[in-house]
Each structure stands twice: as structure tokens, then as C-alpha cells.
Structure 1
Amino acid sequence: MAALSACSSPSWPLSDPISNPNPSPNPNPSPSPNPNSNFLSVPQHDHTDQSQIAEESSSSVEERRTAAEEHEEDENEDEEEEQEEEAPANSINDNLSQSPSFVPSLLHISFNQDHGCFAAGTDHGFRIFNCDPFREIFRRDFDHGGGIGVVEMLFRCNILALVGGGPDPQYPLNKVMIWDDHQSRCIGELSFRSEVRAVRLRRDRIIVVLEQKIFVYNFADLKLLHQIETIANPKGLCAVSQVSGALVLVCLGLQKGQVRVEHYGSKRTKFIMAHDSRIACFALTQDGRLLATASTKGTLVRIFNTVDGTLLQEVRRGADRAEIYSLAFSSDAQWLAVSSDKGTIHVFSLKINSGSPGNDKAHIASDPNLAVQSASSSLSFIRGVLPKYFSSEWSVAQFRLHEASQYIVAFGHQKNTIVVLGMDASFYRCQFDPVTGGEMTQMEYYNFLKPEETS
């Protein structure tokens, strides 16, 4: 899942509002108030790098999360009256207390798991948007401080993970706050001895990324299930599969250029030496079968089979160095999108399922469905003579933006479309021609912090 955070907060962090780190018992903990349900304040624990955990009972958290998934987006708006009553206690204001022209500073942007929504963390709170059609679903602004450096959604439900950020963070940078938006308050927290770099959510797991460690928790009761040590990871790089079934988790290994793949279903760990340079970015398909990686050099992107570590395909973004901001697979794994500091969004065609012989760098995967087709190049007949640059696979389509901002990209729900989010609060929807390729067509533009600025 792609995410970007401003430099003023930890790289790729999660933001969360924490006004009350130890929530007091609440007789109505469920998304739809139920006087018969209970909220428990659990004794604090210490899990190695953790100093404390305050949480709901396992049944209450699971009940809350499951019920949330049954609600549509519009129901979040129906809770405004209830949230207004709670506002004084939680220091929350659904409408900006500043003048209408006030625009908060953006600290973080990230897509949800199916790329149908995105979250923005600001120096005053957070906002949630729908991608298609584009619209703001809701916002939460805090009266004092309010900096949110990370907002991690769980599909479209009312449960989010938050981490403080910015010059005046709403919560400590070493805490992950589990936020229930139906109650407009935190229902649990995870506390650590160092800053949280990122958070990833599944319906059954919470993954917290620190500088050199990753913790995997059971969502229902916040029980610690696994700890992983990594090389220095200031960006908080981590990816998890999202389809129901066994979890596949990808993180940095303990060596430069190495990625680690955890297959929890088969209880197997696979290490892949993906690049000679340090890993800058990676992305995982929803089913966890394919992995795309880029190094700090930023010229090549490689696609691997996560089961056996086979290199399936290699594509070239460009010849000069670049910082890769995001990688994204299409839902059918036929396309790969890449954004970088060069300002151009690239879309590559993936030949993973073609069954043709692989190129010089690719090998046939053990799974015949993941066999790779050789790179198509008019110069392939003298590949051994000319430099590899000339026989590289280049992007099919491109969309050019300003180099001054950072962008993340995902594939839209409409066919052959991409959605681009910028740290300048820009929202673009573009369409590419899968046959002729070339320059993409801009379909929509919005400044999501200034909705009146559209084109």
C-alpha cells in the first residue's frame, strides 16, 4: 500500500490522535451504541519493544470491527450529531474552527487496501476521501495540536490506526492509536520504546513497523504473534496481502538490497536478494503472490514470485537515478504503476501470465501460471552485443507532473485508469490506452484540501 509523509514527521509514519491514552470504561463501546456491551481497560503489558498496551476486551474489539464492515460510507456522516455531543470531551470539531479559507498542512497521504478511498493526515487532524466519485467522506479536526502523521484505514470501516506527527502531534510518535470513528475516540493503543514508522492493517492483523523491528498482532485481542528484526528502515517499508486466507508479509531483510517474505500459512520464510543497492520501495499483489521492488538507484523495477523468489520480469523506469515514491499493481496483476521524483507516472505491462520463455534475467517460475514472457525489443537479436539499456522493457503509458511534489499512485476502479495523489494535495484521475500507450489522458483534477480548485 502506497503512502507518503511530510519531512516534518517520521518517514512513512502513521498518525493517530491520542487525547486519552488510557480510555476510561465506556458503557457503549460498539459502533452502534449498545447498553449491554462492555468496554474494558486491560492491564498494561510489555512486549520487548513495547512499554504498555491499553485495549478493549478481545470480544469487544472484534465485535466493533466486524460490525463496522457492514456499514456504508454514508453512515459515517449520520454520526455527526452524536459526535458533536462528544466533542468537548474529545477536543474534536467536525467542522474547521478556522475561517473557511484556512487550509491545513498535509503530513501524510495513503490509499486504503482496495484503493477505493484515501486518507490524509494534517497538522490539525485527518480526512477521509472517496476516489470514485471523488468526494470528502468525513473529517476530524482537533482543537489543540492535532498533528496526525499516519492514518491507516481498514477498507471502508470506521476503525483506523493513527500515529501523531508534525510540529504539534496529537499523539506521541511512539504510539499507535486504534480509533473508532463512530465514537470519535480511541478504543485502544499500542506503545513502543521508539517512534512508529508505519502501520499496516488486515481484517485479522495489525502490523506495526519500527526503525529496525516489526510487530505482528492479532486484531481481535491485540495479542503479539510475531517479531521480526530488519535492517534500518526509516521509511517504514512493509506490505501485507489482503485476500482472505493465509497472511503474506514482506519487509526488509538484514542485508542491503534484501527483502524478507513471511508465508504464515505454510510457516515458511523466503529471503530474496532483489538489488545490489538498498531497497527504496516495494509493493505486493492482493493475493501475495507477486512482489515488485525498486532500489535507491531507481532505474529498474523487478517483479518476483514470492513463493520461490524467482525473478519473473524486469522493467526500466529510466536511465538516470530517481527516488521511487510508490509502486502499485493493478487488481488483475497485468499492469504496474510507478511514481518517482522525476514527476512522471509510468505504467508497465506485465507478462507474468503469458507462458513465453523468459529473458536473460528472468527464470521460469515453478508455478506455470507465473511464467514470464521475454522482453519485446527491436534490438533483442543483438542483446548480447549492446548494453542492457537498449534491450530494456519500457513503460507503455506515461503521465507527466511537476517534479516539485511527491506523488503516490494506484489503479482506479474504472478500467485502464490510475489515481495519483500528491503531497501538494493534488488528486488526478487519468486514463491510459492499453493498446497504443503513450501519454495518458487527464480525466479529473482536484485540490483535496481546497475542493473549489478543480478542473
Structure 2
Amino acid sequence: MSALSTGSNSSKTEAGEQLLYVGLNQDHSCFATGTSAGFRIYNCEPYRETFRRTFTKGGGIGYVEMLFRCNLLALVGGGMNPRYPPNKVMIWDDHQNKCIGELSFRQKVIAVKLRRDRVVVALLARIYVYRFSDLALLDQFNTLNNPKGLLALSPDSSSTVLACPSITRGHVRVELYDARKSTLIAAHEAELGAIALNLSGTKLATSSEKGTLVRIWDTNTGNMLKELRRGTERAEIQSIAFNSESSFVACSSDKGTVHIFSLSENPNDNNDSGKGGGEKSPGTSQFSPNANQNYPQGMAAAAPDRSPVGNNKKSGLSFVNKFLPNGVGKYFESEWSYAQIKGIEAPSICAFGQEPFTITIIGKDGSFIRANFKDGGEAERLSYNRFLKGPDEELKLEMGGDGGGSAGGGNVGGGMEGGAEPDADEKVDFHNVQQKK
């Protein structure tokens, strides 16, 4: 989960715009904000605003989903004066400065995820999967009520994996489309609070509405690999993120702390395939409208963490497990975080940086924090910026470089062809667009 809908009490920009949405792109190299007047794109490393689009009339954008760094985005209207109806997903081509396609629904759109060949839309209790090239409907299924829009889609071109709530409380449905297989994971007894897939879709992280545990699952087998303890008090998990090599996972919560967990078994081993115990389970260049028109192949641009890592902490009382009932003893067996960033003042999303052992925290209050967690414990803050500023506040930027790496996207072709037909609730309107050479 890498997005944050900010609600009606969010921060405002220097021009009085209200912040409605913050979300990261697929490789976490940049992020987008939706405001009451349009949307903006920011580079993460180095931090700076790279692009903005302001609509003069009815400009509220409540959801922005980027496609890596290309000129194509999915937009959903929001705020008091929405640019588009909140029940429509608009495919926006910023090269042409217009919408080139749309998906209409009878209900409000809760979440949208993109990859180079798919558009996935979450409504309150239903998921729709479309082919990107012509917006033909490929799949649809029901979920439990999903007001948070919990939805994860692997961005790696070598595998197509989707995860979302199932129709059973605390369960996750995982669709492995390449293997033509579905996996049902009984992740938690309580309602789901957050979910996230790693880049390749081989691992799933989940938390419940209690927010005390994060569990790591094998998406192919449904087996639990690790159980990680955020804390002992109830909390709302606001985001979960894997790093590019799946050697770390991080989560942010309303307790004002970001926890970082190591998924490696040995201090000098980045292999993240080990299994851990837990309580009984119930079952790179800046954005440009003239970006290269080729879709990214895989995730080669993401910088891996190839350095030795430490282990998570375990309770010093873990030896008492054998003397306690199963439900009690498992508490001492859970792994605690390897590193933390404390004092986060607003609801936030987190993501790992392209530099090894760095993490980014993006807040609802307009804050942008980078920290280094290599030594474990309290992470070292490297920089603090604000992407929203008040009338008496200057925007601080880290200058130097152009963000590094590049990932392009392509324009989508025109015309409806093949695929499953939408049901009676859906309307598809895809404008005829010529493929750019």
C-alpha cells in the first residue's frame, strides 16, 4: 500500500489548494499529489517538484496513479469541486494534455493500480481488471467491503500478481495470472488493515486493523514466512513497503513511528527466503510529458541493497515459550523492528530509497523525510523538505542531479477488441488514439 487519501482536514498549498491525495509510483522513485486544483509530480532522489498541472475550472483530483515516469496517469476526481466524477477513472495523457480513455462505474472509485499491461480498479466490494491497451475487461470478482481501497499489483513485467481482500474477514485473495492460479491466505482473524506485494509478487505483507503484527507470506504456497511485531498497542497501519530486493519491509502507523524489519536470516546474507515463527495464523529520470514511449521491462532501474544487514530484535524472554500455552508464548517469538524513525507528526506513507539503507517518509502535512537505517535502532535523518508550503514559508529543495535512472511508458492503442464484456454496471469509453512512433 503506497497511497494516502488525505480527507477534508488536509494541508493547503501556498495558493490555497487543498491536498487530497499522496501516492508513490511503482518503483518509488517519485510521487504524485492530487489537490483541489490539479496534480503535481515530485522526484524523490534528489527531492524536487518536476511537474504540475493546474486546472482552472473544477480541478479537484482525489486520486493520481502514475505509470512509472511516463506521460500516462489514471485520475479520479475529488474534493469539493472535482475535475471528474468520483465514479470514473480517467486515463490522462499529459503529452496530449487530455484524457484518452475512461472507465465509468455506478459506485465511487476507491483505488486504482496500473502496470504496463493492466488497469485495476477497486470499488467498495468489487475488483475490475482491464487490459491497458484497449481497456477491455479481463477479470472481475467480489471482495469484502473495502473502504480503504486495499489493493496491490506487482509492477514487474515478468509476473502479474494481484492481491486484495477476499470475501472472508481477514483473508487475502491472491491472483497469480501467469500461473493461472488463485491463492486464498487466511492472514488475520481481524479485518485487514494494510497489504503490500514485493516487486515480483512472490511475497505479500499484511496487517490487521489491530496493527500490532505484520505477517509475510509466500504468494504461491500461501505459507507464512515471518511474523513481525510493530508493537503491543493497537495502531492503524497507514502503509507497508518492501525494498527492491525484498530484504527489508517497512510500515508506518498512527503512532508516529516508521518501523523497518529485516527479512534476512543472517547478518551477511540478503537471502529473504527464510521462515519465521509467529502466533497461530487463522488458516529514475524526472517526469516529463515527452518521456520515452517504451514501457519499462522489469525493474532494472531500482537500486538493490547489496550490503550486509542486521537481524531483527527478539524478546529476551523468548526462552519462556516452551513453558507457556501456545497462544501466549508466541508473543515472545515475534520479531521486533531492526530500525525505527520516530516523531512523524502526520499520517504518512513510506518507501525505500534508491540508495542502500535509505527510506523516505511522505506526510499528509506536506513533509518529505529521508533517513538512513544501516546501523539499526533510531535511523539517522538525512533531510527534511516540504512539498506544500504556507504563505510565509519557503519551499526547501535538495539540489543537484536529475534523479537518476529512467523508465518510460507508452501510449495506449485505440479501439475495443476482444476480452470479456463489461457487466451491466459498467460503461467503457476508449477514445481512438493512434500509437506514437
The structural deviation recorded for 1:101 is 4.2
Aligned residue for 2:242? 329
* Residue identity in the other structure for 1:266: A
Is 1:359–2:277 an aligned residue pair? Answer: yes
Q: How does 1:193-272 map to 2 (within 5 A)?
A: 193-272=106-185
Confirm or deny: 8 A CA contact 1:356 1:374 kept in the other structure.
no
Q: Which of 27, 36, 56 is residue 114 of structure 1 equivalent to?
A: 27
**Secondary structure at the counterpart of residue 384 of structure 1:** helix
Residues 313 and 351, structure 1, Cα contact 8 Å, conserved in 2: no
Question: Secondary structure of the equivalent of 1:388?
Answer: helix
Cα displacement (A) at 1:380: 2.7
Whichever residue aligns with residue 149 of structure 1, its letter is G
Structure 1 stretches lacking a partner, 5+ long: 10-99, 364-372
| Structure 1: distance between partners of 2:30 and 2:115 | 15
Which of 318, 328, 347 is the aligned partner of 1:380?
318
**1:447 aligns to what?**
386
What is the aligned partner in structure 1 of residue 188 from structure 2?
A: 275
1:33-182 to structure 2, matched below 5 A, reads 101-182=14-95
Q: Decide whether the 8 Å contact of 2:25 with 2:32 is kept in 1.
A: yes
Structure 1: distance between partners of 2:74 and 2:207 = 27
- CA-atom RMSD, angstroms? 2.2
Tell me, yes or no, if the aligned pair for 2:312 and 2:335 is still in contact at 8 Å. Answer: no
Please tell me the residue identity of whatever aligns with 1:122: T
Equivalent pair of 1:359/1:374 in contact (CA under 8 Å): no
Q: Is the 8 Å Cα contact of residues 108 and 121 (structure 1) preserved in structure 2? A: yes
CA deviation after TM superposition for structure 1 residue 138, in Å: 0.6
Instruction: Select the residue among 337, 352, 357 that pairs with 1:395.
Output: 337
Q: Give distance in 2, aligned partners of 1:446 and 1:346.
A: 21
Q: CA deviation at 1:383?
A: 1.6
SS of residue matched to 2:84: coil
Is the 1:421–1:428 Cα contact (8 Å) retained in structure 2? yes
Query: 2:312·2:336 contact (CA, 8 Å) conserved in 1?
Result: no
Larger relative helix fraction: 1
The one-letter code matched in structure 1 to 2:116 is: R
1:385: Cα distance to partner?
3.0
Deviation at 1:384, TM superposition (A): 2.7
1:126–1:139: 8 Å Cα contact kept in structure 2?
yes
Cα deviation for residue 245 of structure 1 reads: 2.6
Q: In the TM superposition, what is the alpha-carbon distance from 1:144 to its structure 2 partner? A: 1.5
The 2-side partners of 1:380 and 1:172 are apart by: 54
One-letter identity of the residue aligned with 2:376: G
Q: How many residues align?
A: 354
Which residue of 2 is the match for residue 430 of structure 1? 371
1:411 and 2:329 are equivalent in the alignment: no
Q: Is the 8 A contact 2:41 2:51 kept in 1?
A: yes
Q: Structure 2 vs 1, CA of residues 172 and 357 (structure 1 numbering), >3 Å: closer, same or farther? A: closer
Give, in whole Å, the separation in 2 of the partners of 1:186 and 1:292.
34
- Contact 1:256–1:278 (CA<8 Å) still a contact in 2? yes
Of the three residues 191, 194, 203, the one matched with 2:104 is 191
Greater RCO between the two (CA within 8 Å, min separation 6)?
A: 2
TM-score normalised by the chain length of structure 2: 0.77
Change (3 A) 1:354 1:246: closer
- Cα distance in 2 for partners of 1:298, 1:210 equals 24
Change (3 A) 1:358 1:298: closer
Aligned partner of 1:348 among 253, 261, 270: 261
Distance 1:356 1:109 in 2: 33
Q: CA deviation at 1:442?
A: 1.1
Separation in 1, partners of 2:179, 2:26: 23
- 2:435 matched to which residue of 1? none
Between the aligned partners of 1:345 and 1:246, the Cα distance in structure 2 is: 29
Q: Distance between the aligned counterparts of 1:355 and 1:296, measured in 2?
A: 26
Q: Show structure 2 runs of 5+ residues with no match.
A: 266-270, 282-310, 398-437
On the 8 A contact 1:358/1:374 being kept in 2, the answer is no
Distance 1:408 1:334 in 2: 19
Q: Quick check: 383-392 or 337-346, which moved more? A: 383-392
Taking the aligned partners of 2:368 and 2:312, their CA distance within structure 1 comes to: 35
Larger Rg: 1
Kept after mapping to 1: 8 A contact 2:226/2:275: no
Q: 1:8–1:165: 8 Å Cα contact kept in structure 2? A: no
Q: Secondary structure at the match of 2:336?
A: coil
User: Any conservation in 1 of the 2:227–2:276 contact (CA below 8 Å)?
Assistant: no
Q: Secondary structure, in 3 states, of the residue corresponding to 1:201?
A: strand
